[in-house]
Structure 1
């Protein structure tokens, strides 16, 4: 079973968030979106636990995550599905 991918965003005004979600969807990669402006626990996880300060943050596993629009990483996870 494939792991659940979570995309932490700051809402519709975030162009990199929108682009990341669009490319994931285009490649048929399912994900759950969490808006860190609306979810304080999620924001704390992204900032405090993962150390990111820019959205989007894509989390595949505890060891596999990144921040920003990264088509190279999206291609990598797409080829593993």
Structure 2
């Protein structure tokens, strides 16, 4: 499974909390700073259609899902998928 958190590292409570929840559960993720990575910003705004950080994209077994903003229910879902053998 791959998890990517597209974030604004400064001043984004939802970004910080999302990463903390994944860290606490032991879920590995890649953090991408959308304030310095123009391609990432274009991807989440133009391809995925989001205007709020964080944007979380996860893929498992060829299936992908994503969301924007702090979403504890979705985070719990990804944690459960990561801990399922």
| Common fold: TM-score over 0.5 | yes
* Match status 1:41 vs 2:31: no
More strand by share: 2
Quote the residue 1:65 is aligned against: 66
4+ runs deviating over 6 angstroms: none
Report the Cα distance in structure 2 between the residues aligned to 1:23 and 1:63, rounded to whole angstroms: 20
Unmatched 5+ stretches in structure 1? none
Q: When the two structures are aligned, how many residues end up with a matched partner?
A: 79
* Match status 1:79 vs 2:80: yes
Report the Cα distance in structure 1 between the residues aligned to 2:10 and 2:19, rounded to whole angstroms: 11
Normalising by structure 2, what TM-score? 0.87
Unmatched 5+ stretches in structure 2? none
Report the Cα distance in structure 2 between the residues aligned to 1:54 and 1:78, rounded to whole angstroms: 22
Normalising by structure 1, what TM-score? 0.91
